[in-house]
Amino acid sequence: MAAQDQEIVGSMLEWNKYIFNLPSNLALDPPLRQAANQIAQEHLARVRTLAPVWIAQERAVAGNPGLLSRAPSQSLNFRSINELAIWSVESGGPAQDEAWLKAALAPASCNAPSSAYFAQRIAMIQAAPLDSRPALLAGERELLSRWGTKRQHLPPRPTTQELDAADHAIARMRAGLPVVAEPMAPALARRLFDRDRKPGQSTGSNRWHKCAKSQWWLASQLASGKIDKMTALTLYRYSTMADARDYAPASVVQEGATARPNEEQPAYPPVAALFNVEGSTTVEAHTDDQGKFLKAQVVSRKITVPGVYDNAPIAFESLLDAASLDYAEKRKKYPPGNNSTVRFELQWHLSEDENEVH
């Protein structure tokens, strides 16, 4: 068992080394690269200490002190992914928040050539004004020092309507309808409004596209004056969050994109199944006076993920959303009434014959 424990500790370290890699082609000035490497080494030392504690916790949850480490290794991976997501959305304090706003709006902040998440964050710090760097680096150290602890005040997830607002604005622009927003970066506008792009065709790098779109929407919200800075920053952080989809095989993600429910049974999302996500989603659907579907949103979630106990499963909690909303649109049994609102709960179990709609 000790040998297997050492093996799983080594596996966790290798995963974190990948996440915290700073590639040589990442354009960083020497002082920043040195500081970032130091932060990465401090974190790897933390993981080396945390891994045996997490293994012991898995055995305690299972009620089996002799549980071999190969059995909880998947749960530890899920927990690591969730910690990564929490790092994405949590505040490192007021000074870091103000500095992160500057970094998020910097023109080159989305141009990291690496898929490793730490490299992406450090590239944003490189792009930010130099006077904000001390607060940004101090914020990174503070956030990473919380890795593996129970957070008391995580920012609540924005509503599905808030998270979809940028896409709705883009859809209006494509339709020639008026939208109050800041000018887009030329590269983003070219990808979004390319006349030769076929419906559903990729707009390029998913990470770059997500970052650039979120940057544009953050600037638009701040310019409108209708939303406070912290609310706008929280929405930006959730919009650019590293979540479980980033660590699922492309084939599984694509399978989820083509899955469709029928009017009686929702389709279980393959990515949610991959991570053993179960629980419930509550959906609020709006219909016209004839009972015809108009729109829907997920209003609450209660889900469980192996290995995620102390904190909300932020990396996984939206994995059932798209399937829930798709089912709400396909569902035909809506009562007629004057602009009726129907709320129902979907129970999600990995055994399809146990799924329920209430």
Which 3 state secondary structure label does DSSP give 210? Answer: helix
Sign of the dihedral defined by the CA atoms of residues 61, 63, 65, 71, in that order:
negative
Closest CA to 293 of 344, 358, 346, 340: 340
pLDDT at residue 31 in the model: 96
How far is C-alpha 269 from the geometric centre of its chain's CA atoms?
A: 16
| CATH of region 248-357 | 3.30.1150
As a whole number of angstroms, the distance between CA 58 and CA 72 comes to: 6
Strand order in the sheet with 293-304: 293-304, 278-287, 341-348, 356-357
As a whole number of angstroms, the distance between CA 140 and CA 87 comes to: 9
Residue 181 tokens, joined: 């927003």
Tell me the whole-structure pTM to 2 decimals.
Answer: 0.88
DSSP 226-291: SS-HHHHHHHHHHHT---GGGGS-HHHHHHHHH----SSSPPPPHHHHHTT-EEEEEEEEEE-TT-
Write out the H or E segment, with its range, that includes residue 299: strand 293-304
As a whole number of angstroms, the distance between CA 260 and CA 269 comes to: 9
As a whole number of angstroms, the distance between CA 341 and CA 172 comes to: 25
What is the separation, in whole angstroms, between the first and last Cα of the chain?
Answer: 45
Q: Kindly report the CA angle at 63 between 57 and 66, in degrees rounded to 5? A: 80
The amino acid at 244: A
Average pLDDT of each block of 10 consecutive residues along the chain (358 residues)? 82 92 92 97 95 87 72 85 96 96 94 85 95 96 95 90 92 92 92 64 65 96 93 96 88 68 73 94 90 90 92 94 90 76 90 56
As a whole number of angstroms, the distance between CA 258 and CA 250 comes to: 13
pLDDT at residue 204 in the model: 41
pLDDT at residue 324 in the model: 92
Residues paired with residue 282 on neighbouring β-strands, in sequence order: 300, 345
Domain boundaries, the chain: 2-145, 160-242, 248-357
